[in-house]
Chains A and B, each alone.
Chain A
Amino acid sequence: MSEPELLPLGPDGVLVRFSGRLSEPANRAALAFRAALERAAPEGVVETATSLTSVYLRFRPDILRRATLEDEMQGLLGDRDWLESDLPEGRRLWRVPASFGGAFGPDLEASAEAAGVSAEVAVDEICGARLRVLALGFAPGQPYLGFLPPHWDIPRQSDVTPEVPRGAVVVAVRQVIPFANAAPTGWRQVGRTAFRCHDPAAEVPLPLRAGDEMQFEAVSASDLQNLLNEGTALGGARSEPLP
């Protein structure tokens, strides 16, 4: 099947999928394609958003026919090679303290084993990676971060964990997510951070943007406990502009 694809997602949605597999160029393409749509969306399109490799458009079927919208999208897709797009401007690098293993990371050992490394090496690799906010999703402000090295292409668990806490750092399929809120998940919890992806009371409730970068810094369980006790929105995280 040829990519990008136009796929139906609900009676009032179209998914423009640049890749069915996780890929860095497809992520850049999605960010750029959405930016173009935001500048000139067809009449009847009421919402656009990016996932890891796709752009979603919600439209009003009583105003705009799906077939018409798909024709317009095909035209826009043909305008240029979206996989060659630049990253958005104004990105930042976030350095985020996190504690790994123990009670804060109950699945660290099992995750490391699945990735074929020791727990120690696993933490080094997770903290050594400069991760990009590929998309915000699942819960408000929550980033999908990528990419860990290829041997971290470990599957989600077949059994859903009923609940991980806010700030749980979970891994699967070469990605890391710091959870915005307590939630069920099929991903594996390797650590915990005090950084809040979404804090309605904070000056900036949703601090992250797709395209930003993040690097975790390993801290001890007691240091993390102190950060959790302090209860600030950033949880010790610092940000700087990326050139």
Chain B
Amino acid sequence: MSVIVERAGPLVAVQDAGRAGGLGVGLSRGGAVDRLAYIEGVALLDQPLGAAALEMAGVGGRFRLEAGMWFALTGARMKATLDGAPIEGRASYLAAPGSVLDIGSADVGVYGYLHLGGGIETPFELGGRGFHRIAGLGRAVVAGDRLPVAASQKKGQGPMRLPQMAATTAPLRVMPGPQTEMFPAETRQTFEATVFHRSTRANRQGVRLDHDGAPFSVGAQLHQVSDFISEGDIQMTGDGTPYVLLAECQTMGGYPRIGTVLPADLPRIAQAVAGDEIRFRFVSVEEAEAAWKSDEALLARLVRRREPRVRDPRDMADLLRYEMIDRPHRDVVDE
């Protein structure tokens, strides 16, 4: 089955869990910049980890679902309708064949994710399907594209949703890294006390932060030997401006990094819109290690938290188009 792209925002692309294991040849992992929102979509549709979805920055698009299929919208809150009826985020829906899914601009956040069926099946390139601009892999999705979609593996429990998450403005947790000690203790204290604002300059590589006050430069940084970068590193460019590096960052760099934002807190940077306030707080390496969760563990936790999405049939103008009895998944029948 497949999906026809009738309209696409300027920054819509296929993304997955990324290409792990390529640092030795200079390939950063890439994949979804809001990894948690991506895994939420996987959880809602019982997809395998690594299944590809559409990542939509700021604006979605209009998609015709040629076959009937399950889908879920996660990440940024985007105005979305299925054949004209509003749909909610972080929930799974079963669309009838020929349905049109129209996803507009983001009200909250930046990156929205559209998971379809058992995952988008565009060809693999260097072990992944995701668009990786600086690696020269893949491309953006444009109007007219036909995206092949794998058969759904969703188990037969009907439409599901994930419970709302409480919004937080707590400082983002930062662990020390190889260059943290290059910054004097006083500079690190100032860094923790500073209120940053997400700049208008941001992409999948990184997010620039603006602030009032002195730049965060260290003396000899322009001669620093280039070394490995971790996703989440807070890099200070030559003029002392911080950039938080995201999934599509370079694998190495010479600008010093004051620390690394914990993976659990990184989606908040990715989803911050221009002007949003951002603050940081240092935590120990031990605390960072304890907070680390594998993708498998995150997925298992989300699967446990899913709950049935019950709709009032009176709201369903197109009631007859829905498959009212969920067919059990083939695996279940075979057992």
Contact = CB atoms under 8 A, between A and B. Distances in A.
B312 interface: no
B239 interface: yes
B21 A183 contact: no
Interface in A111-170: 135-142, 144, 153, 155-160, 166
Contact of B292 (A11, A22, A153, A183): A11
B252 A51 contact: yes
B238 A159 contact: yes
B24 A52 contact: no
Nearest to B287: A11
A13 B289 CA distance: 10
Interface centre among B21, B25, B232, B237 (most CB of A within 10 A): B25
Nearest to B297: A62
Interface in B201-241: 222-223, 225-228, 230-233, 237-239
B260 A53 contact: no
Given A49-B23, A137-B251, A173-B223, A11 B175 contact: yes
Interface in A179-222: 180-181, 183, 186, 198, 200, 205-206
Interface centre among B126, B223, B262 (most CB of A within 10 A): B223
Nearest to A27: B225
B85 interface: no
Interface of B: 20-27, 125-126, 133-137, 175-178, 222-223, 225-228, 230-233, 237-239, 250-255, 260, 262-263, 285, 288-289, 291-294, 297
Which size bracket describes the interface of A in this complex? 35 or more
B24 A49 contact: yes
Looking at chain B's contact residues, the main secondary structure is loop
A54 B289 contact: no
Contact of A141 (B26, B133, B222, B285): B26
Interface centre among B26, B133, B262, B294 (most CB of A within 10 A): B26
Contacts of A206: 25
Given A137-B250, A138-B251, A173 B238 contact: no
Contact of A136 (B26, B289, B293): B26
Given A136-B25, A200-B126, A206-B25, 6 more contacts: A9-B260, A10-B232, A17-B227, A144-B226, A183-B134, A183-B250
A38 B136 CA distance: 28
Looking at chain A's contact residues, the main secondary structure is loop
A66 B289 contact: yes
B136 A186 contact: no
Contacts of A58: 23
B228 A9 contact: yes
Contact of B254 (A46, A140, A156): A156
A200 B136 contact: yes
A148 to B, nearest CB: 14
A47 B23 contact: yes
Contact of B285 (A8, A34, A180): A8
Given A173-B225, A173-B254, A160 B237 contact: yes
